Amino acid sequence: MAKNNNLITVVKQLPTGGKATAIGSSVAAGLTRYVTFVRAARDVLAVNTAVGSKLYLCEALSNAKTSYSTPTLASALQKMVVVIPSAPTADKDFQSTPKIDTENPLFSIAESKFMTTLLVSDAGLSGAVNLFVQYYDQ
Amino acid sequence: MPKNNNLITVSKLIPTKSSHVVLGTAAVPAGMTRYVTMVKATQVQGASGKGSRVYFCSAAASGTGTNQTTASAIQKLNLAIPSAVISAAPTSAPTPIVIKSRQVPAMSDSENPLFTIAESKWFTATLSSATGASSPVNVFAQYYDQ
């Protein structure tokens, strides 16, 4: 795959469990979206952070939240799941790979589809998350 | 992308809350893009108990994004440093372990940037003004223009 230098990055704040949102617009016709890096950090500064997070990164037909707003729906569309442990001692900063490699993407989103995310509302896994995604369309 | 060996690193202190620093000496030159390959924020205080949040931004001017609200709107990435991380399950009196540094990505790779800053924009960093998130930090960034 030829290297694509037109990197796009998106930051999304997922403040509460149940938050579902699209990441970017739909993939243009004839193109594929290559996702190269995902970072999800628990958005908390307090000491007693005994709450984790679980979020789905999905390939959805539309950006209508009704298609990916529950864990059941989102898991059927999932391309990746991120779990941040609840233990206070756990590292709350998830990075998909220690090193970014734009020539070797993590996963792809097909043309006309949307990349979306859902933070679950399950007890202990619904802590606020700051999400960073890097991708390019080619 | 051919490897660019003209890597530039900048390290700056953000000493007070809701203040910002310019990373690099100038805006991105016309016809070029600034490829940021690594960012790091390290709290400078000795004692634990306070957190920090730093916004790395693409700003239209060197003075843009000087407060939390505007910086959040133009952010490319933000790093949050917790006030402390507890060393064990809090069954009794936990001992805080001070983890005061955040870095993305874990390994830098100049051929695979983290994010970009477009031509004519400024690369800046702003420290939050929020209570518990405004402890002074030293920021480090590695980038090149191409």
Of all residues in chain B, what percent carry a pLDDT higher than 90? 53
Q: Where do the domains of chain A lie?
A: 8-137
Q: Which residues in A lie closer than 8 A to residue B132 (C-beta atoms)?
A: 45-46
Angle at A117 between CA A26 and CA A61, to 5 degrees: 40
HEC string for B104-144: ECCECCCCCCCEEECCCCEEEEEECCCCCCECCEEEEEEEE
Q: Where do the domains of chain B lie?
A: 8-82+95-145
Q: Which of B56-60, B131-135, B141-145 has the weakest average pLDDT?
A: B131-135
CA B6 – CA A125 distance, rounded (Å): 43
pLDDT grade, residue B131 (50/70/90)? confident
What digits encode the pLDDT tens for the residues B18-67?
889 999 989 999 999 999 999 999 888 765 567 899 999 999 998 887 78
Tell me whether 0.85 is exceeded by the ipTM.
no
B20 touches B128 (CB < 8 A)? no
Q: Buried b / exposed e across B27-46, counting CB within 10 Å, b at 16+?
A: bbeeeebbbbbbbbbbbeee
> In this complex, is the C-beta atom of B32 within 8 Å of any C-beta atom belonging to chain A?
no
CA B90 – CA A76 distance, rounded (Å): 37
Characterize the bridge pairing of strands B101-104 and A129-137.
Answer: unpaired
CA B88 – CA B139 distance, rounded (Å): 29
> In this complex, is the C-beta atom of A110 within 8 Å of any C-beta atom belonging to chain B?
no
Q: Averaging pLDDT over each range in B25-34, B43-52, B76-85, B124-133, which range is the top one? A: B25-34
A120 touches A71 (CB < 8 A)? yes
Nearest residue on chain A to B107, alpha-carbon basis: A99
Beta strands in A43-113 (DSSP E): 53-60, 78-84, 93-95, 107-109
What digits encode the pLDDT tens for the residues B95-113?
555 567 889 999 888 889 9
Task: Compare A118 and B16 and report the one with higher pLDDT.
Answer: A118
Average pLDDT, chain B: 85
List, for chain A, all residue ranges whose pLDDT scores fall below the cut of 50: none
Read off the pTM: 0.87
What is the predicted pLDDT for the residue at A107? Answer: 95
CA A67 – CA A13 distance, rounded (Å): 20
CA B129 – CA B134 distance, rounded (Å): 5
Nearest residue on chain A to B110, alpha-carbon basis: A100
A88 touches A56 (CB < 8 A)? no
Looking at CATH, the fold of the domain delimited by B8-82+95-145 is given as: Jelly Rolls (2.60.120)
pLDDT grade, residue B82 (50/70/90)? confident
CATH 2.60.120 fits A8-137, yes or no: yes
Q: Which residues in B lie closer than 8 A to residue A46 (C-beta atoms)?
A: 51, 82-83, 132
Residue A35 in 3-state DSSP? strand
What is the predicted pLDDT for the residue at A87? Answer: 77
| Binary contact (A48, B87; C-beta < 8 A) | no
CA B57 – CA B64 distance, rounded (Å): 9
What is the predicted pLDDT for the residue at A3? Answer: 65
- In this structure, the dihedral spanned by the alpha carbons of residues A134, A115, A17 and A106, taken in order and rounded to 10 degrees, is -50
A25 touches A124 (CB < 8 A)? no
What is the predicted pLDDT for the residue at B17? Answer: 87
| Binary contact (B80, A43; C-beta < 8 A) | yes
